[in-house]
Structure 1
Amino acid sequence: MKLRNWQLECIHSAISKYELHKHFLALATPGAGKTVMASVLSKLMYDQGEIDLVLCFSPSSIVAHDFSEALSERFEAHFDGTIGALGNSFTYQALSTLDNKVWRLFEKYRVFVIFDEIHHCAGSNIKDANAWGKPIITTIKEKAAYTIALTGTPWRSDALPIALADYCNESRQIQCDYVYGLKQAIADSVCRVPKVIALDNDQITVVEGDETSHFTSFMDLLSQSIIPYSEVVTNTSVIEQLLLHSNHKLNELRSINKEAGGLIVASSIAHAWQIQLILKQTIGESAVVVTSDEGNGNDLIRSFRYNQDKWIISVGMISEGTNIPRLQVCCYLSNVKTEMNYRQVLGRILRITDAPNQQAILYMPAEPKLVEYAYRVAQDVPNDLAKVKFAQMDEAIITEASALGKSDEIIDSNCQTVINTDKPINSIGEVTIHFDDESTSFMELPESEINIVTDKIMGIFGEFNHKELEIDGFDQLTISDQSLNKLNQYCSEAF
């Protein structure tokens, strides 16, 4: 296997540092190939007689399995902890349950330890360590022969220090031993150029009792704390329009590359099944659903990795480190609004393949924080390549904040009835969906897959329209005229 230039540089840098220090931290953008790099490094250290065993820890079982396979291929030996194995691959969850047989290995052998996505493990000492960071600090840090910690997002949302990381005393900035960013990866044709498309709406109406409020964007709506973002991403019409845009783009890609796939990130298990049903009823497409409820989730992911199915829906099982290179379209309907999660999800569609078309597109609602993250990602790539698009919903959103049953209908800004609540209603999560008599009901799904509740109503009506504008040097940005001033004001405050 021919290594990429950055992988060779990182390996040489690590070996050089190991002459004086046994811990090494590598930052490489998601999708760059950290698994291969770490596997080759460990084999080189083994061949040089520096180590006896390799242990790997990662955030999920699917990633742990991928590391086990990569190490097995490189060493031509098994990495499952059985007799004759040269090591094992665990999840971070297993750290608290490992028996003394594993910890005794550190006393008898020179163990090389790989930590994938090390930012999950917090702590500079026992006092500020989390459950995964504590055994690293108390045992592995001192007893391992060498370690390499890998990350694509070198920070934590709770601002705690990352285990094994060094920080500058004054600035408290993390010190990485090797850095390979998205801009470099794109220039090297290692990662795809990401394009982000944010869907907005300039006609939003919220009805609460006798009071009616109007908003000109999701930013405007969410800043008032009237409607939580969870109701935006679980709204039927928002889901439908994001799916329509995403599926249209995926069809375009599959006309050139029939293996191109799409990922839909849901907010909850119930939300995942809601999306699957809407995808089927509105677009006529099927999708694989992978959640923690599926006992064979890892098998489903591995199967999707190699088949030609179009869509896979997941809550959190396809995130950082999960390797499905054929993914090129992502529909972000998660209610998680951290930059770490956003970048890790975006990384799922950035892996370069041999396919003739290498576009990577992420669709999302125009939520302010997500918009900010999109611009930050755009700053990571060459200015002539970065694309952040805003797709405007030129339509009305009508929301009644009162509970179901208090009103028989919802009135739009022109005092016309747009929803009659005498229609059959089925509710999932916090969103109520109106069906015609011939429509499939959520109640036809297995009871274990759906949680029916009644809370609030949100309706979106009309067509999505696009306007092309250029803003601050980005190519082909699209945003509504009504939202332009708000976005520019927001961005000036954010940056």
Structure 2
Amino acid sequence: MTAPFSPADGADALHPTGYARPGASDKGIRLRAWQRQALETFEMAEHPNFLAVATPGAGKTTFALTAARRALVSRKSKRLAVVVPTQHLKLQWAQAAERFGIHLDPEWAAGYGALPSDVHGVVVTYQQVAANPQALRPLVRDSLAVLDEVHHAADSKSWGDSVRTAFEHAWRRLCLSGTPFRSDQSTIPFVRYEGDLACSDFEYGYGEALKDRAVVRPVYFPRINGRMEWTAPDGNVYSATFEDKLTKDLASQRLRTALDVEGEWLPAVLTQAHAQLLHLRGQDPRAGGLVIAMDQDHARGIAEILRERTGVMPTVATSDDPVASQKIARFSETREPWIVAVRMVSEGVDIPRLRVGVYATNTITDLFFRQAVGRLVRWTGGSSKQTAYMFIPDDVRLRASAFTIAEQRRHSLRRKEDPDEGFGPPPPGDERPAEEEPQLEEQLSLFAALSAVPLDEQGRPLDEQRVFEDGGDEIPDYVGGAFEPVAPVPDTGWEPVAPLPLPDPEPLPPAAPVVGPLAKRRDLREKNSAVVRELVHLTGRRHADVNSDLNRKSGIKRISEASIRQLEKRLAAAEEWLRKL
């Protein structure tokens, strides 16, 4: 049974947004205008399901955690459950929640039983929900559920069914997405539809964010043409540029050929992207670059190209690496120039210093493309000029996706004295094919890339050292209009912060200011485990017996249910036992 909330230790010890504010008691959450409007709309909504669509980088997490904090303080919600697409995002959400005084357990698993008394809730992946939806039901009853990037609930019918089972008794379901989406095959629980298009209750687009200034960066799309030659699975040899019209399957084979690490196209594009990054780092030394690869082997091949061409060995973060999340976290805090990933940095991952990207994957869906571009758009303080660049193959399908974003950017940043400059439909032949998914390559072993030569927009050999100046009109992405510097504007105000209640009825001692509850809990669990191993070695008793004795002395059933205070008590008991041996 879920324990009732009560005042707790240090719930307001950390400033909720990380911004310093004068006066120890004068604290709050800084909200942008759209976040305040979305919050009011959410709280006034009568239906328990709410879908908020906000462009990547605009601050969906801040909006959701502010809504969660209000619900917890008012006791409308007993707990908070957050569902995310990846393991790395579990930690990212838990760390973000700590800045709001909300303590989420990213390490919770179905077999852990009850939550520790000093934890407000959990953050889990959609895969965890699908594996055991029944385990979450008692935790989220009468609680707020936040479903981040909710379109993942349509990845399979079983995932959607599991989400419904797990959260049908939640107090409310707040669904988040970075872009409008369709569900052509599986509908998503708790989302309304018109036809196959999801209906949002609040929407804040990229164009609106650009107009608001100092929310997102303008992104430009240098398109790189090329001449590719390959052997198709049927044995025929083909040669084509990205300007040639091909069937869906042949277009996918052409794209694969361009992205081959043994060709000339990809190394040249990586070299040009590196030159652009170095140019940006002249004014912004922490600016970073991201390459999105096709698969894990492709990512490692790209890393080797960057090493050979630039002398820089990039960070490689792939799902087969057990420390990939730590690598991403370290990269976000350093000045390392490049990170290469497949999908781990394409959605939701927050690395604000990323300003250059290379789209080197054959995944061409509009949703994935927009999520990838979203990694580059987050505004950071300190400069009024913050352009970002995503280098893309000049493939008609990617060109169409880039055009829709460039159109919003152009409309938002266009100079008032020349309102029609550069505005218009994409050139002939840019219509998106009916099917967007990359081909299923059952005969992939019969496909062979032969050569790929990069070309510029005029069909000439690519100048690998060419750089673009502040989004000027020479960028081949249909810009047509000069870049207008963006002046920062103040935020709309502060959201008052009340002390956030926690489940433990007794006040807990405040944690050291440099160690948040998440890190402290993990450290205490590791120390408890280490002392138990030493006790087992010295006493000859079984692990289970030692753990049972320590649990009894500290008043807990199992370590996964222990609060920070109980973990400290358990560790003290274990160390006292050691001293007596």
TM-score grouping bracket, smaller chain normalisation: 0.7 to 0.9
Which of 186, 197, 201 in structure 1 is aligned with 2:210? 186
Larger proportion of strand: 1
Q: Which residue of 1 aligns with 2:395?
A: 367
* Cα distance change, pair 279–161 in 1 and its aligned pair in 2 (3 A): same
What residue is the counterpart of 1:15 in the other structure?
Answer: 43
1:157 and 1:338 in contact (8 A); partners too: no
Change beyond 3 A, Cα 1:479–1:216: farther
Q: Equivalent residue of 1:90, what SS?
A: strand
DSSP 3-state at the match of 2:303: helix
Output one character per residue of 1:27-48: Cα deviation in whole Å (capped at 9) or x when no partner. 0011111111100111011112
> For residue 230 of structure 1, what is the amino acid of its counterpart?
R
Code of the aligned partner of 2:118:
G
Task: Give TM-score scaled by structure 2 length.
Answer: 0.63
Q: Does 1:89 align with 2:123?
A: yes
Is 2:82–2:145's contact at 8 Å kept on the other side of the alignment? yes
Question: 1:230 aligned to 256, 259, 284, which one?
Answer: 256
Q: Give the secondary-structure state (helix, strand or coil) at the position aligned to 1:114.
A: strand
In structure 2, the CA distance between the partners of 1:52 and 1:212, relative to structure 1 (3 Å rule), is: closer
Give the equivalent residue in structure 2 for 1:117: 149
Counterpart in 2 of 1:144? 170
Does the C-alpha gap of structure 1 residues 206 and 135 become closer, same or farther in structure 2, counting only changes over 3 Å?
closer
Identity of aligned residues (%): 25
Gaps of 5+ in 1: 124-128, 391-429, 432-452, 469-473, 481-495
- Using structure 1 for the length normalisation, give the TM-score: 0.74
Q: Distance in 1 between matches of 2:187 and 2:292?
A: 28
Aligned Cα root-mean-square deviation (Å): 3.1
Contact 2:240-2:254 within 8 A present in 1 as well: no
**Aligned pairs for 1:58-457 within 5 A:** 58-80=84-106, 81-98=115-132, 100-107=134-141, 110-122=142-154, 130-141=157-168, 143-156=169-182, 158-168=184-194, 171-189=195-213, 190-201=215-226, 203=227, 215-220=240-245, 225=250, 227-235=253-261, 236-356=263-383, 357-383=385-411, 385=413, 455-457=448-450
The alpha carbon displacement at 1:379 in A equals: 2.7
Cα displacement (A) at 1:383:
2.3
Q: SS state of the match for residue 458, structure 1? A: strand
Contact 1:56 1:115 in 2 (8 A): yes
Q: Which amino acid aligns with 1:194?
A: V
Whole-Å separation in 2 of the counterparts to 1:140 and 1:306 = 35
Hey, what's the Cα distance between the residues in 2 that align with 1:259 and 1:459?
Answer: 32
Please state how far the C-alpha of 1:139 moved relative to its aligned partner. Answer: 4.0
Asked if structure 2 preserves the Cα contact closer than 8 Å seen for 1:27 and 1:176, the reply is: yes
C-alpha displacement of 1:237: 1.1
Match of residue 424 from structure 1: none
SS in 1 for 2:326: helix
Q: Cα deviation per residue 1:145-202 (whole Å; 9 max; x = unaligned)?
A: 111000012324645333211123xx5542211000001111112111110111013x
In structure 2, relative to structure 1, the CA distance for the partners of 1:269 and 1:205 (3 Å cut) is closer
1:307/1:211 CA distance change after superposition, 3 Å: closer
**Matched letter for residue 116 of structure 2:** T
Residue 68 of structure 2: which of 42, 49, 52 is its match?
A: 42
Q: Distance in 2 between matches of 1:199 and 1:253?
A: 20
**C-alpha distance after superposition, 1:252-275 (max 9, x if no partner):** 111111100000000011111111
- Say whether the 8 Å CA contact 2:299–2:316 is kept in structure 1: yes
Report the CA distance shift for 1:38/1:117 in structure 2 as closer, same or farther (over 3 A). Answer: same
Change (3 A) 1:53 1:313: same
Pick closer, same or farther for the CA change 1:179–1:139 going to 2, 3 Å: same
Q: Which has the higher contact order (CA 8 A, sep 6+)?
A: 2
**CA separation of 1:342/1:55 partners in 2, compared to 1, >3 Å: closer, same or farther?**
same
Task: Provide the C-alpha distance between the structure 1 equivalents of 2:164 and 2:133, rounded to a whole number of angstroms.
Answer: 17
Aligned pair count? 400
Q: Is the CA contact 1:156–1:340 (under 8 Å) kept in the aligned structure 2?
A: no
Cα distance, 1:137 vs structure 2: 2.0
**Does residue 1:460 correspond to 2:461, yes or no?**
no
**For the structure 1 residues 157 and 460, does the alpha-carbon distance in structure 2 shift closer, same or farther, using more than 3 Å as the test?**
farther
